[in-house]
Amino acid sequence: MTTLDGNSSGKEEGHISQEENVEKDLHIAAEEGVAATDSRGVPVTEFDRVAERKLRNKIDLMIVPTVSILYLFCFIDRSNIGNARLAGLEKDLGMTGNDYNKLLSIFYIGYCLFEVPSNLACKWIGPGWVIPILCLGFGASSLGMAFVQDLPAACGVRFLLGVFEAGMMPGMSYYLSRWYRRSELVFRISLFVVMAPLAGAFGGLIASGLSHIGSVTTWRMIFLVEGVITIGLSLISFITLTDRPETARWLTPEEKTLAVARVKSELLAQTVVLDKTDHKKVWLGFWNPVVLSTSFVFLLNNITVQGLAFFTPTIVANIYPQYTTIQKQLYTVPPYVVGAAFEIVIPLMSWRMDRRQVFLILTAPLTMMGYIMFLASTDPKVRYAATFFTAISCFAVGALSNAQVSAQVVSDTARSVSLATNMTFGALGGLIATWSYLSWDGPDYPIGNGLNLAASSMLFIITTATLFWMKADNKRREKLDINKELEGLSQAQIESLEWKHPGWRWKP
């Protein structure tokens, strides 16, 4: 009996000691000034998977819904102009020829100019403040569209809309990277990026519903209602968005420590999670082979995604010219719903496999098939089916590309720049998209469809070539003597190496 009691007591004391050691390791891993990886990027601390899963679920519940709802209305306020066009926007503003394309283009000028500055502000000020401010700005801009009387005024408002929306997707992706591991990030980004195709679906439903209200011109009512809703959501988000784990009132001290430590454990040679802005890190966040390759891929993809957002109502109207405006609006909904479903499924698989590049490759073939169908047939059923193929996988590239450029850098500073770079290239793709479907090219739009086929084909080639290059460069890095390469460098210099660190490996 005594022996049993003694053994039992010994096991209990050993168990307590083990828990204390684990907690001590966590605090050391989260502590500033201490690196959480070895020279090859391997975490020096093991984490309790059950505790991690509970923490991740809690973060999912508190962070993702707010971000997703804000992005839903971000994209609705951007793409509702397509529904407004069907409801009489061009006629009321005296627009002719390619004036609609000019109106779309002006948005992307503001978008491109403010992409990087907006995300740097997100790092300096904090995403918990910047994202709500941006949301308030583009909500007010959308509301302003309800009161414009001519094309110049509409162009001015759309420019401001682009300025405020520029930082939303990179800012939200950067914000989530403060909370999630590399493998987890892609699925969480998809949970707000999925709002892009859903915005097309909701936009069509809202537009068709507002057409029954006769007190205000239908297209003005679209901007009025959606702008007011966005402003209301932005005011709520000032309260609900928590800037970073350390300031989260809904996390316990132990959960805050774990949240910081697990993110830091993937930062090669970094001694802090939120570092001070370093000019070398800023440059290497941009001048990164995989970041630039992925960003160009996102440019190509955005020609399709933004083209769908702005021109699907027009394309459907040309496929079914005999239908009423309400029917045309409703016919734009199903392709977006299908796209939204795959927007979740593809990143979910990417998360589970901790692979992004191969899924970027796999998004291209179905998009290519859709545009081949557009070019090969004039049959309405075939062309409407083609809208589903074009939407099935292209929306997933937004989440995949942002997660990929985030995974290919080390520091927080470089991550803010890499995400902004990706979105700047994407905005250039959106600018190209505004001129992909011209009025004189209708009703079959062979030039627009041919451009999108070429873009998706190039996407397939570039993503495949990048995957092979990443694997080859990783093999080259395996032969390096890490200690010799780092000899004579200070800790600050080592932290600034980013992807040039000899222990770095590209993450396909």
CATH code assigned at 373: 1.20.1250.20
Of the pLDDT bands very low, low, confident and very high (cuts 50, 70, 90), residue 32 is confident
CA distance 201 to 222: 14
How many structural domains comprise the chain?
1
Give the number of C-alpha atoms closer than 13 A to the C-alpha of residue 260, restricted to the C-beta side. Answer: 28
Instruction: For residues 203-221, give the mean pLDDT.
Output: 72
- Kindly tell me if the per-residue pLDDT of 1 is higher than 70: no
For 217-226, what is the mean pLDDT? 88
- Tell me what pLDDT residue 398 has: 93
Whether 46 is covered by a domain: the verdict is no
Residue 451 lies in a domain: yes
Q: What is the pLDDT of residues 231-263, one digit of tens each?
A: 999 999 999 999 999 999 999 999 999 999 999
Res 97: pLDDT: 87
Supply the range of the domain harboring residue 88: 60-244+278-500
- Residue 156 has a pLDDT of 96
> Has residue 10 got a pLDDT over 60?
no
Nearest alpha carbon to residue 306 among 433, 479, 459, 402: 433
Write down the pLDDT at residue 82: 81
Residue 13 within any structural domain of the chain? no
Mean pLDDT of 5-26: 50
Residue 434 identity (one-letter amino acid): T
Verify cis geometry, omega within 30 degrees of 0, for the bond prior to 443: yes
Percentage of the chain lying above the pLDDT 90 cut:
63
Q: Is the pLDDT of residue 434 over 90?
A: no
pLDDT score recorded for residue 21: 58
The confidence score (pLDDT) of residue 214 equals: 57
Q: Give the model confidence (pLDDT) of 117-153 as tens digits.
A: 999 999 999 999 999 999 999 999 999 999 999 999 9
pLDDT value, residue 2: 39
pLDDT per residue over 193-208, tens digit each? 888 777 767 776 777 7
Residue 45, domain member (yes or no): no
**Residue 55 falls inside a structural domain:** no
On the question of pLDDT at 354 being above 70, the answer is yes
Residue 3 pLDDT > 50: no
Provide mean pLDDT across the span 392-401.
93
What is residue 51's predicted lDDT score, i.e. its pLDDT?
93
Mean pLDDT value across residues 436-449? 88
Report the range of poorest mean pLDDT among 263-272, 321-330, 369-378.
321-330
pLDDT classification of 20: cutoffs 50, 70, 90:
low
Buried b (16+ CB within 10 A) or exposed e, 290-308: bbbbbbbbbbbbbbbbbbb
Q: Is residue 9 over pLDDT 80?
A: no
Whether 22 is in a domain gets the answer no
The model's pLDDT over 404-431, given as tens digits with 9 standing for 90+, comes to 999 999 999 999 999 999 999 999 998 8
> Does 352 fall in a domain?
yes
Residue 508, in any domain of the structure: no
Closest by CA to 153, choosing from 98, 207, 97, 92, is 92
Contact 197/166 with Cβ under 8 angstroms? no
Question: By the 8 A CB rule, do 285 and 170 touch?
Answer: no
Query: According to the model, what pLDDT value does residue 24 have?
Result: 66
Range scoring the smallest mean pLDDT among 161-175, 334-348, 449-463: 334-348
Q: What is the pLDDT of residues 279-331, one digit of tens each?
A: 999 999 999 999 999 999 999 999 998 888 777 777 888 888 888 877 877 78
Average pLDDT, the chain: 88
> In Å, how far from its chain's centre is CA 18?
40
Identify the pLDDT of residue 213. Answer: 65
pLDDT score recorded for residue 28: 65
SS (H, E, C) 215-245: CCCHHHHHHHHHHHHHHHHHHHHHHHCCCCH
